[in-house]
Amino acid sequence: MTRIPGQPKPQSYLQTSPKTAPAATPATSRTAPPKTPFAAQAKKPQTSDWRIGDLMVCVMARLLADGERVFHGVASHLPMIAMALARKLHAPNLVCLNIPGGVNPPSVHKASFSSAGADLLSGAEAYFPLDQIFDLSMRGGLDVAFLSGAQFDMHGNVNNSVIGSYRNPKVRLPGGAGSAVLIPTARKVILWRTRHDRRTFVEKVDFVTTRGNVWKVVTPLCVFGVKDGRLQLESVHPTSSLREVEENTGFPLKYGDVVYTPPPTPQELAALRQVDPHDYRMKEFKN
Amino acid sequence: MATSAFASRPKSRSKLVPLEEAAAMVRDGDLLALGGNVLHRAPMAFVRELIRQGKRRLGVVKTAGAHDIDLMCAAGCVETVNAGFVSYETEFGLARHYRKAVESGEVRVNEHACYTVISALRAAASGAPFMPVAGFRNTDLIRENGDFRVIPDPFGGEPVTVVRAIVPDWAVIHVQEADETGNAVIHGPKYEDVLMSRAARKVIVTAERIVGAGHWQRQPTLVDIPGFLVEAVVHAPRGAAPGSCDRMYDADLVALAKFMKLERSDIPAYVAQYERADRSARKAVIRI
């Protein structure tokens, strides 16, 4: 895909696999030797046999460590699949929690239109429903929560309440669901969003639904971490470029070592096809 | 199935009433806690009956609503929504009628975190005026929603956010099984329904199946809602449709996709098309 410099680019990440590399490369190592294993990649990885939804799920799965207690809520197909994938691959003792209360659901094959249905309780190890998950987080016992929103700013503020003023909104959004208590209390919060543009990553959110322990932000273009209370670019997906991230982010980018996000491995892709054979992971990209 | 020891008991008063009669108990301006979660096991037949009866200025309480709240907003029944989330999730996205009603100022939202709804209902269930909510901080919702306050910890700790009790006039809970006296069992996820039944002043149960008296006497721990809390029982097969009801039916995505195209003016015809099915069980109570 060729691109005119300076001109906002159509969002390329919905395409199956770009045939041509984007113009700019993100290998902007400002500091000395690479410290992370991510930084070891010198060359742009292969991008042909997977889609951005596959990569986002794999990235989210890799962020989960064995034994952690992890929660996803409503409208959360990507985290739901990422949690199941992590349990299948590197985190067999992960504790997967969800709204209907199914601890470690044996499969997510039936969660087609909802990530809060009875199918996630059917065949699960135990019943641990939403009110108890909240209580767990309040007393410091929830390791990771996956949450989303309509707007994010560089300070990690999250808005899923309104666009415009609260009393007289231009757009009434669904509401933050559990995020206003989970983002301040879960030990690590992973935010995700299937769009990355200047309406989503803004200078200042219209409304602070919540802020707190944001740890990572996974988007179709990149992964942000948080350093000194600010979002910091950590890796750029091989399908994107530093310039594309910059052009689509409404606040100044801060970064140290920026590397390419490692693409999904053949093992990850094979496991992903088993965990999610009906491709629910692409549902969130429709809207 | 009742043994002779049980058979000598005097028969309890039946609370089984037709859907229309149960819905008529709700008055304009009442606050309703609706059971279920998003598109799962919401009391949709009851909601449609409220709309057919032209109820007005209702308040709704729920952690996460979808078609129930959207439809009530489309029909102009709602004045206030107390919820953490209102949307059809990924498949159908934003609740369009709810959104428009809020944006036009017709409906007021007291946005909660789902947990503050739970805390407010816990306060109501335990007769307390408010409930502390650890962890509810760093949010503009405290400023905008009058149900929240930050108060000093009387025991000398950090300031704590409290949420005012929400006491629903009615909890309306759709279940798979109930008996005529109101004992009710929820199969699958219970969501906030058991708590709602304790927090509300009165409870209406709508049920897929009506079972015989004494059905759970050998395992009374299975009963989620004891009949003594229940005001009325309605036999409502497919009472959660077009949403899902665990072990009975899945969501009707075709019907929901059609609904997504409807405008407000189409709503009377939409609820009318369910009228026959919603009210069909009034005389056909199955006794097991």
Q: Which residues contact B151 (CB under 8 A, 6 or more apart)?
A: B159, B160, B162
HSE at residue B10, side-chain half, CA atoms within 13 A, is 2
Minimum Cα–Cα distance from A182: chain B residue: B135
Instruction: Residue window 112-131, chain A: list those with CB within 8 Å of chain B.
Output: 112-118, 121-122, 129-131
Q: Does A71 lie at the interface with B, CB-CB under 8 angstroms?
A: no
State how far the Cα of A23 lies from the Cα of B48, in Å rounded to an integer.
56
State the smallest CA–CA distance between residue A50 and chain B in angstroms.
22
Q: Does B39 lie at the interface with A, CB-CB under 8 angstroms?
A: yes
* Complex-level ipTM: 0.94
Contacts of A101 in chain B (CB under 8 A): 189-190
pLDDT in tens, B95-152: 999 999 999 999 999 999 999 999 999 999 999 999 999 999 999 999 999 999 999 9
| Count of CB pairs separated by less than 8 Å, A with B | 166
At A132, which amino acid appears?
A: Q
Q: Which of 3.40.630.30, 2.30.30.60, 3.40.50.720, 3.40.1080.10 would CATH assign to domain B13-277? A: 3.40.1080.10
Q: CB–CB of A181 and B113 under 8 A? A: yes
Residue of B116, B139, B259 best to disrupt the A interface, most CBs of A under 10 A: B139
At B47, which amino acid appears?
A: V
Minimum Cα–Cα distance from B96: chain A residue: A172
CATH of domain A42-282: 3.40.1080.10
Give, in degrees to the nearest 5, the angle at Cα B215 between B209 and B217: 150
SS3 A14: helix
State how far the Cα of A174 lies from the Cα of A176, in Å rounded to an integer.
7
Q: Does A101 lie at the interface with B, CB-CB under 8 angstroms?
A: yes
Q: CB–CB of A118 and B188 under 8 A? A: yes
Using CA of residue A32, residue A253, residue A194, residue A228, what is the dihedral sign?
positive
Peptide bond into A264 cis (omega under 30): no
pLDDT in tens, B236-272: 999 999 999 999 999 999 999 999 999 999 999 999 9
Q: CB–CB of B89 and A116 under 8 A? A: yes
Contacts of A174 in chain B (CB under 8 A): 85-87, 94-95
Assess contact for A189 and A144: CB atoms under 8 A.
yes
State how far the Cα of B169 lies from the Cα of B196, in Å rounded to an integer.
11
How far the first Cα of chain B sits from its last, in Å, is 9
State how far the Cα of B103 lies from the Cα of B105, in Å rounded to an integer.
5
Tell me the average pLDDT of chain A.
88
State how far the Cα of A282 lies from the Cα of A280, in Å rounded to an integer.
5
R_g of chain B computed on alpha carbons: 19
Would you place residue B283 in the very low, low, confident or very high pLDDT band (cuts 50, 70, 90)? low
State the smallest CA–CA distance between residue B9 and chain A in angstroms.
36
Question: What percentage of chain A reaches a pLDDT higher than 90?
Answer: 81
When CB atoms are compared, the residue of B93, B94, B139 closest to A209 is B139
Instruction: Residue window 188-207, chain A: list those with CB within 8 Å of chain B.
Output: 207
> DSSP states of chain B as a string?
---HHHHTSPPPPP-B--HHHHHHTSPTT-EEEE-SBTTBS--HHHHHHHHHTT--SEEEEEEEESHHHHHHHHTT-EEEEEEEEEB-HHHH-B-HHHHHHHHTTSSEEEE--HHHHHHHHHHHHTT-SEEE-TT--S-THHHH-TTEEEE--TTSSS-EEEEE----SEEEEEEEEEETT--EE--S--TTHHHHHHHSSEEEEEEEEEEPTTTTTT-GGG-SB-GGGEEEEEE-TTTTTTSBBTTTB---HHHHHHHTT--GGGHHHHHHHTHHHHHGGGS-----
* Burial class of residue A55 (count of CB atoms within 10 Å of its CB; 0-12, 13-18, 19+): buried
Q: CB–CB of B113 and A178 under 8 A? A: yes
Closest CA to B163 of B205, B208, B112: B112
pLDDT in tens, A126-146: 999 999 999 999 999 999 999
How many Cβ atoms are within 10 Å of A17's Cβ, its own excluded?
12
- Residue A12 is predicted with a pLDDT of 46
Q: CB–CB of A118 and B247 under 8 A? A: yes
SS3 A145: strand
Instruction: Residue window 18-57, chain A: list those with CB within 8 Å of chain B.
Output: none
Tell me the average pLDDT of chain B.
94
The pTM of the full predicted model, rounded to 2 decimals, is: 0.90
State the smallest CA–CA distance between residue B269 and chain A in angstroms.
26
- Residue A229 is predicted with a pLDDT of 95
Phi, psi of B256, deg, nearest 5: -65, -40
Assess contact for A36 and A238: CB atoms under 8 A.
no
Contacts of A115 in chain B (CB under 8 A): 89-90
- Residue A20 is predicted with a pLDDT of 37
State how far the Cα of A84 lies from the Cα of B110, in Å rounded to an integer.
35
pLDDT in tens, A26-79: 444 343 333 443 444 446 777 779 999 999 999 999 999 999 999 999 999 999
Residue of A134, A146, A211 best to disrupt the B interface, most CBs of B under 10 A: A134
pLDDT in tens, B51-72: 999 999 999 999 999 999 999 9
At A127, which amino acid appears?
A: Y
- Nearest 10 degrees: Cα torsion B20, B21, B22, B28: 80
For chain A, the structural domain boundaries read 42-282
Instruction: Residue window 183-202, chain B: list those with CB within 8 Å of chain A.
Output: 188-192, 195
| Residue numbers in chain A where pLDDT is lower than 50 | 1-42
Burial B186-206 (b: 16+ CB within 10 A, else e): bbbbbbbbbbbbebbebbbbb
Burial A215-228 (b: 16+ CB within 10 A, else e): bbbbbbbbbbbbee
Q: Which two structure tokens, joined as six digits, stand for A154?
A: 């560089």
pLDDT of B16 above 50:
yes
Contacts of A208 in chain B (CB under 8 A): 138-140
Q: Which two structure tokens, joined as six digits, stand for A11?
A: 């969002």
